[in-house]
Amino acid sequence: MLIKPDQLQKIWVLRKLLYSMDEIEAMEFILDKMKATKNNAEFFDMMRRGNS
């Protein structure tokens, strides 16, 4: 498998969060969060903690 099970779970949580947003809002959300983190691990840790 290319993605570890714990990472896959985090991706699904993010997808569920983004589903309720329109395209522009979702893209702005992702870009803001990516700018605030240095790597994927930090990004998903921030999502897990609920700093959204």
Q: How many CA atoms lie within 13 A of 36 on its CB side?
A: 13
Q: What pLDDT, in 10s, does the model give residues 1-52? A: 688 888 888 888 889 989 999 999 999 999 999 999 999 889 888 877 765 5
Identify the pLDDT of residue 22. Answer: 95
Answer whether 0.75 is exceeded by the pTM.
no
Q: Note the pLDDT of residue 36.
A: 93
Give the per-residue pLDDT at 9: 86
Residue 35 backbone phi and psi in degrees, to 5: -65, -25
Q: Are 33 and 47 in contact (CB under 8 A)?
A: yes
